Structure 1
Amino acid sequence: MGGLEGARLLLLLLLLGGAGTAWEPHKGKCPPSCSCTKDSALCTGSPHVPEGFPPTLLSLSLVRSEVTHLTSGSFLEVPSLHLLLFTANTFSVIGDDAFAGLSYLQYLFIEDNNISSISKNALRGLRSLTHLSLANNHLQTLPKFLFRGLETLSHVDLRGNPFLCDCRLLWLVLWLPRVNASVGAGACAGPPPLANKQLQHLDPDTFHCRTVELSWFQTLGEPALGVETFSYLGEPHVVLAQPFVGRCLFLVWDYLQQRFRPDGEIPAPSVVACKPLVLGSRLFVLVARLWGGSQLWSRPSRGLRLSPSQALAPELLLKPNDAELLWLDGEPCFVVAEASKAGRTTLLCRDGPGHGFYPRQSLHAWHRDTDAEPLELAGEPHLLLASASQRPVLYRWQHGRFSRRTDVPEAEDVYATRHFQVAGDVLVCLTRYLGDSMVMRWDGSMFRPLQALPSRGSLIFQPLLIAGDQLVLLGSDFTYSLVFQYEPDSGLLKLLQELGPPVPSAPRAFSFISVAGRRFLFTANFKGPTQVYQHLIQDLSA
C-alpha cells in the first residue's frame, strides 16, 4: 500500500472514530458546519476556518469551504493535530506560517483546491511532517526553499498542477534527485518545448537562468575617441583619449567615494589613441596624434611622473587612426594604423640600448588604413588591417616580419575589426558604418560569413568577455547602441539590451575593468561624455 493511500485510510478511520463511539462534545466545542468525534472533525461549507475545537483534536478536514486564504494563526488552538486535509475548497493563497503551531502534524493533504500561490514560508515549523500533498491545484510554480526544514518528509505529491517549467522551477528540478523521499512531481504544462514532460526527467542544463545587464553607473567628463583599461602596480587604471580638450586623462577608483576619479593627464592635442604598456614597474603610453607627431611617454618607476621620452616615426605616422599593442617573439610592439595616403601603417618594436620603440616594418602602403587588430591563428601571430580603399587584409608573422596571407571576402567598406575566441573558434567582428556589420569565423584558410547585423552609423563593433559572458557591442551614431550576447548553442549573437543614454552619443570605443569586486564597462563617446556602466548578473531562478 502506498504511503499517501495509507495516510488517506488512516484519515478515514479517524473520521469514523477510533473507538467507534461518537464523541459528545461540550456545548460550543464542535463548530457549526462540522461533524465531530472524540479526536477528529469534518467541516463542510464553512465560510472561514472553524474555531472552538478542543486542543486535543488529532485530525481535521475542511471540504468545500469558502475560505479565501490561509494565514498565520489559523490553527493555533489545535496544536495536537496529526492530520490536516483540505479538499475542494475555494481558497487560492497560502500565506506565511499558515500552519504555525502544528509541530506534531504528520499528514498534510491540500488537494483539489483552487490554490495558485503558496508562500515560501507557508510550511515553516512543520518539523514532524512526513506526508505532503499539493496535488490537483492551480500551481504554476513553487517558491524556492518551500521544503526547507522539512527533513522528515518521506512522501510528496505534486501531480495535477499546471507547472510552468521555467527558471523559477529550476530549484525543484535540482531538488528532486537529491531528496530522500518518494515524490510524485507531475508534468510541465509549458512552455511548449517542455509541455507534458515529467519534472523528474528534465535536464537542469536546458534551463538558462543566468542573465546579465549593463546598468548606467557614472558619467565622466569630455568626449573621447578611445578608452583603455590596465593594471599598474596592482591597481586598476583607465585612460581616455580626449581630442577636444587635448589630453590623455587617467582615472582610478576612489574607494571612499565609490566612483572613478581623475588621476593625472598627458597633454596631447588632437590625440586619437592613448595605448598603455606595463613592464614591471615601468609604464609606457603611446600617444597617437593627428597633428604634431605621435610620442612615447614613460614612467620609469613608482612615484615618478610620466614624461615624453621619444618621438615616434614622424616621417611615417602623419595621420594615425588606431594603435594596438602586440607581442612578437617575446618583445612588445605597437602597430599604428595610418589613415593618410602619404603615410604608412607602421610596426614599432622595442629595441636599442635606450629601450625605445623604433620602426620594424611598414605595412600596407597607400591604402589609408583605419584599424589594426592583432590576433592569433593556429598558434601564430597575425594582424588584420582594415582600410578605406579595399577589403580587410590578413598578415602572418613569419621570420621576423609580417607577410600578406589573404584578404576577407564579402567584406567591403569595413571600418574596423575586432576578434574573440569561443570553444577553439576564432571569430571576427567587422564594423561597417551603414549596411550590415558582420561576424565571420576562421575556417583554417579564410574567414567565412556567420551572421550579419544591421548597422546605423557604426564605427565600433567590439567583443568583450566579462565574468564569463561573451558580449559584443555594436555602436551607433544615430540610435541606441546594442549589446549582444554570444550563445554557444546556436553559435550566434542574440540581442541582450539597448545601451543608453539617449542618442546621439557616437561611441568610438568600449573597454572593461574589474575593481573592488565589481565590473564596469566604459564607453568613449565622440558626441558626449564617457559613460560608465556596471555589469550586473541576475539569477532568474532566485
Structure 2
Amino acid sequence: MHKETSHTRTHAQPRADGPRDRPQGVQQRPGPQPLLSVATPRPGLPAPPSAPPPPAAVRVLPAGQPSARPGLRASLHLSEGSARGNEQGRGRPPAPEGPRSRSPQRAAGALAAAAAACGARAGWPRAVGRELAGSMAGLRARLGSGLGLLALSTLGLCLMLQVGAKRPPKTPPCPPSCSCTRDTAFCVDSKAVPRNLPSEVISLTLVNAAFSEIHDGAFSHLPLLQFLLLNSNKFTLIGDNAFTGLSHLQYLFIENNDIWALSKFTFRGLKSLTHLSLANNNLQTLPRDIFRPLDILSDLDLRGNSLNCDCKVKWLVEWLAHTNTTVAPIYCASPPRFQEHKVQDLPLREFDCITTAPSAVHCKPMVVDSQLYVVVAQLFGGSYIYHWDPNTTRFTKLQDIDPQRVRKPNDLEAFRIDGDWYFAVADSSKAGATSLYRWHQNGFYSQQALHAWHRDTDLEFVDGEGKPRLIVSSSSQAPIIYQWSRTQKQFVAQGEVTQVPDAQAVKHFRAGRDSYLCLSRYIGDSKILRWEGARFSEVQALPSRGSLALQPFLVGGRRYLALGSDFSFTQIYQWDEGRQKFVRFQELAVQAPRAFCYVPAGDAQLLLAPSFKGQTLVYRHVVVDLSA
C-alpha cells in the first residue's frame, strides 16, 4: 500500500498542468490512464464546519503499473482533488477544472468499469462481471454524493479478491536428467532412480540409466505410478520388493537389459499389474511362483531370453497350461534335446527331477562302478538316494533312507574300504542314530548303527597306517574314534578325544609324516591335535566363540585353516612348518559360515563360504610379489 502526500495551495490559481500553461514545443507525455478517479466532495458544495475532512480520492492503478506491495494490483493515493475541495469549503474560488474533473454520472460509470476489471483479474466468470457492471450503472442517478463511499467499498472488495485470487501453479520439480510434465517423466542417463519428481507422476520412463541394480522400494516415493518403462538399460539385478508401494501400477516393461535371474519376490505388491514384459534379457530360469502375486495379469512377454528347460522350469510349464494370462510363445535355449522347442508344448513327463524340501542339509555324490549317485539328507520329509541316467540325462530316485533310523541328519561322509563303497550319516536327534550304509549290487543297505542318542554333529573318515578310522563329533560328549575291523566288517569304538569335551566340527590334515585333527567348538577354544600312534595330543588352542565350521586346505604348497564364527569375523590361519603351528594370516567378513570348500578352477584357487545369515561368498587366493 503506497501513500502520496497531498499539497494544499494557498492561492486559487490555474493548475500548472493545464493546457494553457504548458510551454510551447513541449508535448505532454501520455501516462497510464487510471481505471477510476473520483474526488469528493462535489465541486461547489462547501463542507459543513463540523464535518470531518472529506475522504481522500481513490485511484485504482492499471495492471501494468507497479504497486508498493507485490501481489497487489491496486494502491490508495491521496490526490489533489481533496485539497481543492477543502479550499472551496473555506471560500476560495475553485481552481479551473482540468482533464481530471468528472461528473457524478461519469464517476459512477468509471466505478462500474473498475468493478468489472477487478472481477476479471480476480478470476470471476464474465457473466458475474457484467452483472456487477450493470448494477453499478443502475446506481448512477441515485447515489450522488454517496459515490465516495461506494468507491471505497468497491476498492475494498477488489483488494480482497485480488489478494485471495488463485496464484498461478508453480513449475513441478524435475531432476536435470529428466523431462517432466505434471504427471509424466522421461529420464535419460540417470545415475539412480530419480527422487525429485512431482508426486502426481503416473508415467515414468528410464532409458540408458547409469546404474545396474534396482533395490528394495526403489519407486516407493511414486505411489500413483501407473506406467513404468525400464527398457534399454544395463540392469543386471532387480532385488526383492523392488516395486513395493506401487499398488496402482498397471504397465511394467523391463526389456533389453542384462538380467540373468529374478527373485521370487521381485513383483510382490503389484496387485494392479495387467501387462508385464521381460523380453530380450538373459533369463535362464524363473523362480517358482514368481507370478503368483500378480492376480490380474493379462499379458506376459518372455520372448528373447535364454531359458534352460530343466527341472527348474517345470512349474512354468504347469502354470502356462492353466493360467488365463496371454503369454507370447517362449522357446528353450538348452539343453540340446529341447533347443528351439516351445516351452508351452513340453510334456510334463520329461521333467522327472530331483525334488528336495527346503530342509536339505547335505548332498554327497559318489561314483560306484562308473555310475553316479547322490545322497540327499533332509531334516524333514526323509532322505533319498538318486541315480544319474545318462540316457535321459536326469536323476531318478533309487531308494529311501530309513526315516526311523535317520531322523535329523547333520552330515554325510562317503568313503571306500577294501574296494567297497560306504556312506555314513551323522544324526543329531535324541531318538536317531548315526548309521553306516554299504553298497551291494543295486543299492545301499544298512550296515551298522554307530552312535545313538548323542546328538552327533560331524563325521570325518581318516585312512592312515592302513587302519581306516571314523571320528564322530558330538555336541553332548567328547568325540569318539572308531576303527574298522576287517574281520567283523564294521567299526569298533577305540576311544575318545578327551582333550575336547564337545565339538561341532571335525577335520584332519597331514603335514609331513604326521596326521593332525582340527576340532571347532561353539563355546571354548578350538583345538589342533596330533596323532601320536595310539592317541591324540594337543598341539595348539585357537580362540573361538560361536564356531560351527572349520576347514584346512592346501593352496600351492601353502597350508591354511579357515575357522568360522557366528559372532565375529572368520579367521584364516597359515601353517608354520618351523613352529609346527598355525599363525594368524587374514580375516574374512563372512557372517555365520556353515562350511568352507576349497575349489581349484584352472588358474584360480577359490574358497567358497556359504553363510547362514548372508550371501555365499567366494574368495580367490592371490600371491603378490613384494620383492621388486
Query: Could you state the TM-score of these two structures normalised by the residue count of structure 2?
Result: 0.43
Instruction: Compare CA radii of gyration and give the structure with the larger one.
Output: 2
Which structure dedicates a bigger proportion of its chain to strand? 1
Which structure dedicates a bigger proportion of its chain to helix? 2
